[in-house]
Amino acid sequence: MAIEEQKTRKWSPALVIAIVVIVILAGALGWALLQISAPAPQQINYPIGLAIATTGPTYATDGPIRRDAALLAIDQMNAQLEAAGSPVRFQSIHEDTAGTPDGATRAFNALAAAGVRVVVGPLSTGEVSAIRDFATQNKIVSISPSSTGVAAAIPNDYVFRAPPTDIPQSKALAQLIDELGFTKVAIIARNDDYGKGFSDLFESTFETRYGGQVTRIAYDPATQDLATEVQQLASDVQTLGPGANTAVLMVAFEGDGLEILGEARLSTVLANVRWFGSESTRRTAFLNQSAVPDIVQFLRDVQFTGFFASPSLNPVSVAFEQAYVAKYPTRDPKKSPYSYYSYDSARLAMLAILAAGKYDGEAAAKMLPIVASTYLGASGHKLMDANGDAIAADYTAWRVALDANNKAFYQEFARWVFASETLEFFP
């Protein structure tokens, strides 16, 4: 193999790297020690675990936004506590789960080993399923800001969820699509627990209740180039008959949504039908005029429509948005629909601990539904059902339109009333 070289150079690359690493680590350690202010004599630290995925194909982009919203809630609360003279401070510990059940389990175990008994997260339904028994048995409260799968709605456990399940939204969507006169829907959905769960719900409602016809295209969520899938979608639409009765339903997140829309806008077939989207597709990234003007135009042409569970004129939502922008000037909380839920989840977690008067998982679990029952947050009310999931409220329907300055925005044009399951169109 290689002939051994005499190491005559003093600064071998290995040495350079080692020195660099040591300097970095020493610097970080020193900086860290400087940051730790000696706690006030009576400061009580309550740790809040954040089991929020920030790596992995699904959450590399969404995760950081939700994490930041939770951190905002924690910092705000600490400031409020300080102003009120309370010795309590909440400390955040953010563990990445990479969006997998394995990562979630390890994160929860590692957090539990630090004495954490209240966790915001995990994000996906699959992760929630994985940690459910561990959390319940070990009395660790888990509040998920974005799990909406029906499969995880279980009573008497330690898992709580800030958003309602997908059931009411899928019903609302099916009803709206039917009332607008469409009888055939071509679905394109990401093939994970969220996409499949939502599509299954929608399909069964749309077919059984409204006698409609549905085709499905599922794509692997890690796939980056979705041109083939979009072409198949176009061919599905043609098979269904590209008339005025056919619509498309997209169930996607941001990265895959951008790819699908980017491909779809090139297809005349797809540009000539109405498009609908799940709640997760209500993204400001799609309406970014400077970055993706063609997509914005496309969304307007197809009158992209969907539902959203949170009433947007809620003053708490507005306050949250302003605080977020003040803290992270270059970022926009509206980029992720779930940042609002994340903020509320963190706040609810802290309020439950404060209401319990001590840091204890069992007490927090008992106080959480009580605190949530009268809580109005950035994502609306959080009254919980027996499963610990937020009861749905009304949903507002949005569609892409232009405002007075010719800027695209999500215009609300109808409301689906949860109690009566009726649609009310705004004048």
Partner 1 sequence: MVELAGPLLLSVLMGSQYTMMALGLTMTYAITRVPNFAHAEFVTVGGYAAVAFVNVLGGGLIESLLGGFLAGAIVAMLSDELVFKPLFRRGATPLHLLVASIGVGLVIRYVLSIVVASYDFLVVKSRINKEILFSIGTAPFTNLHAWVLPTTFAVVIALHALFTQTRMGKAMRAMASNFDLARVAGIRTAQVRRWTWFLAGGLAGVGGAFWVVNVPVQPETGWGLLLWLFAASILGGFVSFWGTIVGGFVVGFAENLGISAVHDTFGVSLSYRPMIALVIIVLVFLIRPQGVTGLTMPDFRALIRKWFARFGAARGRS
Partner 2 sequence: MPIDLSFLLPLLATTFGIFLILAVSFNLEYGYGGQANLGKVFFYSIGGYVAGALTTHSLWALAGSPADIPFLEDAGGVVRFAVARANPGAILGLFLASLVAAGLAGAAFGWLASYPALRLRGDFLAIVLIAVGEVSRVFVFNYEPIAGGVFGLPGVPNPFAWLPPRVAGALYGVLVLVVAFAVYIYAIRLTKSPYGRLLKSLRDDELASNVFGKDTPKVKGHVLAIAGGMAAVAGALYVFFVQNVYAGDFIPLISFTAVTMVIVGGVANHKGVLVGAAFMTLLDLVTRPVFPTYFDIYWRPPFDMNYVRYLTVGLIIIIVLMFRPEGLIPERPVETVALRVARAWGKPAVPSNPAADDPGEG
Nearer to partner 1, 61 or 245 (CB): 61
Q: How far apart are CA 97 and CA 104, in angstroms?
A: 5
CB of 137 to partner 1, least distance (A): 33
Whether 339 and 118 have beta carbons less than 8 Å apart is answered as no
Touching partner 1, residues 114-143 (CB under 8 A): none
Nearer to partner 2, 13 or 41 (CB): 13
Whether 125 and 149 have beta carbons less than 8 Å apart is answered as yes
Check residue 60 for interaction with partner 1 (CB under 8 A): yes
380 dihedral zone (left: phi>0; alpha: psi -120 to 50; beta): left
Q: How far apart are CA 71 and CA 420, in angstroms?
A: 37
CB of 267 to partner 2, least distance (A): 26
Please enumerate in sequence order all residues whose Cβ is within 8 A of that of 423, keeping only pairs 6 or more positions apart, or say none. 172, 175, 176, 179, 397, 414, 415, 416, 417
How many residues form the binding site for partner 1 (CB under 8 A)? 47
Nearer to partner 2, 91 or 373 (CB): 91
Tell me the β-bridge partners of 376.
381
Is the Cα dihedral 17, 23, 29, 31 positive or negative? negative
CB of 60 to partner 1, least distance (A): 5
Nearer to partner 2, 58 or 379 (CB): 58
Touching partner 1, residues 197-236 (CB under 8 A): 217-220, 222-225, 227-229, 231-232, 234-235
Whether 286 and 258 have beta carbons less than 8 Å apart is answered as yes
What mask, x for binding partner 2 by CB under 8 A, covers residues 193 to 232? x-xxx----------------------x------------
CB of 371 to partner 2, least distance (A): 22
Touching partner 1, residues 331-350 (CB under 8 A): 331
Q: How far apart are CA 427 and CA 410, in angstroms?
A: 16
Residue 276's SS3 state is: strand
CB of 43 to partner 1, least distance (A): 30
Check residue 191 for interaction with partner 2 (CB under 8 A): yes
Amino acid identity for residue 382 in this structure: K
Choosing from 3, 32, 38, 404, the residue that interacts with partner 1 (CB under 8 A) is 3
CB of 369 to partner 1, least distance (A): 35
Q: How far apart are CA 36 and CA 179, in angstroms?
A: 59
Touching partner 1, residues 277-296 (CB under 8 A): 285, 291-292, 294
Check residue 254 for interaction with partner 1 (CB under 8 A): yes
From the list partner 2, partner 1, none, partner contacted by residue 106 (C-beta under 5 to 8 A by kind): partner 2
Burial of residue 290 (CB within 10 Å: 0-12, 13-18, 19+) is exposed
CA distances for 379 relative to 120, 316, 375, angstroms: 15, 8, 10
Structure tokens at 205: 């409602």
Check residue 383 for interaction with partner 2 (CB under 8 A): no
Stretch that binds partner 2, among 80-88, 95-103, 233-241, 260-268 (CB under 8 A): 95-103
Choosing from 81, 82, 86, 92, the residue that interacts with partner 2 (CB under 8 A) is 92
Nearer to partner 1, 164 or 195 (CB): 195
Check residue 19 for interaction with partner 1 (CB under 8 A): no
Instruction: Dump the DSSP string for 68-80.
Output: HHHHHHHHHHHHH
Burial of residue 413 (CB within 10 Å: 0-12, 13-18, 19+) is middle
- List b or e across 171-195, with b for residues whose CB sees 16 or more CB atoms inside 10 angstroms: bbbbbbbbeeebbbbbbbbbbbbbb
Whole-angstrom distance between the N-terminal and C-terminal Cα of the chain? 80
Choosing from 116, 173, 177, 233, the residue that interacts with partner 2 (CB under 8 A) is 116
Structure tokens at 375: 């809580």
Check residue 269 for interaction with partner 1 (CB under 8 A): yes
Check residue 361 for interaction with partner 2 (CB under 8 A): no
Check residue 326 for interaction with partner 1 (CB under 8 A): no
Residue 77: other Cβ atoms inside 10 A: 21
Q: Which residues bind partner 1 (CB under 8 A)?
A: 1-5, 12-14, 16-17, 55-57, 60-61, 64, 191, 217-220, 222-225, 227-229, 231-232, 234-235, 254-255, 258-259, 262-263, 266-267, 269, 285, 291-292, 294, 330-331
Q: Which residues bind partner 2 (CB under 8 A)?
A: 1, 13-14, 17-18, 21, 28, 32, 35-36, 45, 47, 49, 54-55, 64, 67, 71, 91-96, 100-102, 105-106, 109-116, 125-126, 129-130, 132-134, 137-138, 149-154, 191-193, 195-197, 220
